[in-house]
Amino acid sequence: MKIAIQLVCLLGSLLLLGRVAGDPRSKTVDLKCATQPEHNTTIFVPNFVAAMDSISEQIQRSGFGMAVNGSGPDTNYGLAQCYGDLSLLDCVLCYAEARTVLPQCFPYNGGRIFLDGCFMRSANYSFFEEYKGHEDKAVCNSTSRKDSTFKELVRKAVTRAVASAPNNRGYARAQEKVSGIGNQSVYVLADCWRSLNASLCRACLENASASILNCLPWSEGRALNTGCFMRYSDRDFLNKELGNSRSRETIIVIVVSVVSSVVVIAIGIVIGARIWKHRYIQKKRRGSNDAEKLVKTLNDSNLNFKYSTLEKATGSFDNDNKLGQGGFGTVYKGVLHDGREIAVKRLFFNNRHRAADFYNEVNIISSVEHKNLVRLLGCSCSGPESLLVYEFMPNKSLDRFIFDSTKGKALNWEKRCEIIIGTVEGLVYLHENSKNRIIHRDIKASNILLDSRLRAKIADFGLARSFQEDKSHISTAIAGTLGYMAPEYLAHGQLTEKVDVYSFGVLVLEIVTGRQNNTSKTSEYTDSIVIIVS
């Protein structure tokens, strides 16, 4: 019975996603980090996280947020804004992406990120009334050159947008077209941060429009200014007027046979497993911070790898040994002196004073053993940066197969089915494992690795939990990958095992169809696979 309920839940979530069918335009256009490092990590990180949390709440209500937290040189000033044509749901999606990417600036004390749907900035001083600066620039897309008619249209539309935005809460859209032989259209979006008054907004847009017009005769240009964003294009990138988006909230009926077959497969797999209990992970796992004790534990432990050993094994993290980029760091292939092959993950975030906690976490994760989970062999927890050591998977990740028509042939239906079953078994083990329940939070094709016999092994589990629970850690409160994240998680941050079930559902659709769900990395104009199916 529970199984049936869970399947209904899964389908229900798929339906719910129909509501966010607008385009969040969550592709990063530009990320620019501050040039000064933070002053004191212990103070900076909690300030940053608190400011981001406060902005999160505001964004969900109004599409704009501003916050200040802390005092002294590590005070955090934050601002985020979605452009005026995004619905609130799309806005949350875009902001989630901005918030995931911006912390890459750490340990620098701030940064600004322009996405195509929203903007976010953080600094240690009040920049709310800044509207120009030497970072201001235009980014032109020089893939196609247009004629003089187009140039004229762009000038008209841009002028109109600049004139109307300042008195319209900083937001304007404009469209110009000629029909007939030329038959061309121009679309313009202009947006000032709502912290600016009308005259500063106008000043910003005037500068932005002057610099964007330098992109002509190219078909598209974006101005990335300190106080505003502007874009023109020959393609209609704007979302429908907000009034219309409500009609999307009607229930969409799933009739596609792919889904039915997924359900059949899923039932087959799930039988026998008593899974998906509604429970949050609330494990207390505070270890001793006693440094001496830690050093002793580390030296005695066979989990511990010397930093120099790993540095040597990977050829000093040579680019040629780079296997890929994971959620928490870059992964390199390494060969130990005894010939064993390993994968070494170099973590983005290095809080060395948290070495004890980190070590405890590694200890827990490495004790989780299952044939469908990538084995964590150990770490270098006390060296200059934090490294994790995993078993090496010669066939790399599933996404390299299913989204590649040539390599995809290596996976027949039987193999694909085996991979789906293997993934479920690994997930059930993570959720059910009585000692340490683990919600993965980032199930996706690139996190399913394949061993030499193409058996599925889930990678990257456990870390999200460790970063999530420690509020002082800079890793984002919302982790995961757009397109795979459950709607209720995105909207309310509710974290249960169902988050993994949803992502798994998306993954199954991908494995069956060979189509990649839209993520922030792919073209902004593709539809989510979930929407295509529904």
Which one, of 208, 189, 196, 154, lies nearest residue 25 by Cα?
A: 189
With vertex at residue 217, the alpha carbon angle to CA 216 and CA 221, rounded to the nearest 5 degrees, is 45
The residue within the footprint of ligand NAG, chosen from 81, 207, 351, 366 (CB under 6 A), is 207
**Residue with smaller CB distance to ligand NAG, 103 or 462:** 103
Catalytic-role residue among 442, 460, 470, 500: 442
**Exposed (0-12), middle (13-18) or buried (19+): which is 434, by Cβ within 10 Å?**
exposed
Q: Which is nearer to ligand NAG, 184 or 481 (CB)?
A: 184
Q: How far is the CB of 84 from ligand NAG (least distance, A)?
A: 20
By CB under 6 A, name the one of 14, 45, 50, 458 that touches ligand NAG: 50
Q: Cα 127 from chain centroid?
A: 26
Among 1, 61, 179, 257, binds ligand NAG (CB under 6 A): 179
Query: Which of 43, 491 has the CB closer to ligand NAG?
Result: 43
Ranges of H-type helices in 368-476: 399-402, 413-432, 463-469
CA angle 163, 167, 170 (to 5 degrees): 85
Q: CA torsion 150→152→157→159, rounded to 10°?
A: 150
Distance CA 102, CA 28 (A): 10
442 counts as catalytic? yes
Q: According to CB under 6 A, which residues from 322 to 361 bind ligand NAG?
A: none
Q: Any contact of residue 421 with ligand NAG (CB under 6 A)?
A: no
Q: CA 222 to CA 227: how far, in whole Å?
A: 14
The strand pair at 171-178 and 184-192 is best described as: antiparallel
Residue 145 within binding range of ligand NAG, rule CB under 6 A = no
CB of 521 to ligand NAG, least distance (A): 12
Q: Does 308 bind ligand NAG (CB under 6 A)?
A: no
| Least distance between ligand NAG and beta carbon 349 (Å) | 17
Region at 339 (left for phi over 0; alpha for psi -120 to 50; beta for the rest): left
Query: Contact between 143 and ligand NAG (CB under 6 A)?
Result: yes
Q: Is 56 in the site for ligand NAG (CB under 6 A)?
A: no
* Nearest to ligand NAG of 100, 124 (CB atom): 124
210 binding ligand NAG? (CB under 6 A): yes
Can residue 129 be called a binding residue for ligand NAG (CB under 6 A)? Answer: yes
CB 182 to ligand NAG: min, Å: 8
On whether 407 is known to bind a ligand per the annotation, the reply is: no
- E strands in 460-513: none
Q: Which stretch binds ligand NAG (CB under 6 A): 18-26, 148-156, 203-211, 512-520?
A: 203-211
The answer to the question of residue 375 lying near ligand NAG (CB under 6 A) is no
E strands of 437-525, at which residues? 448-450, 456-458
> Among 508, 486, 461, which residue's Cα sits nearest to residue 327?
461
Binding test (CB under 6 A) with ligand NAG, winner from 2, 4, 5, 40: 40
**Residue pair 289/356 in contact by the 8 Å Cβ criterion:** yes
Q: Which residues pair with 121 in a beta bridge?
A: 79, 112
User: DSSP strand E in 217-291: where?
Assistant: 218-224, 228-233
Nearer to ligand NAG, 131 or 358 (CB): 131
Q: Interface with ligand NAG includes 520 (CB under 6 A)?
A: no
Interface stretch with ligand NAG, choices 93-101, 195-203, 291-299, 414-422 (CB under 6 A): 195-203
Which are the catalytic amino acids? 442
Q: Which residues are annotated as a binding site for ATP?
A: 345
- Footprint on this chain of ligand NAG (rule: CB under 6 A): 36, 39-40, 42-43, 50, 69, 73, 109, 124-125, 129, 132, 134, 136, 141, 143-144, 179, 183, 197-200, 207, 210-211, 219-220
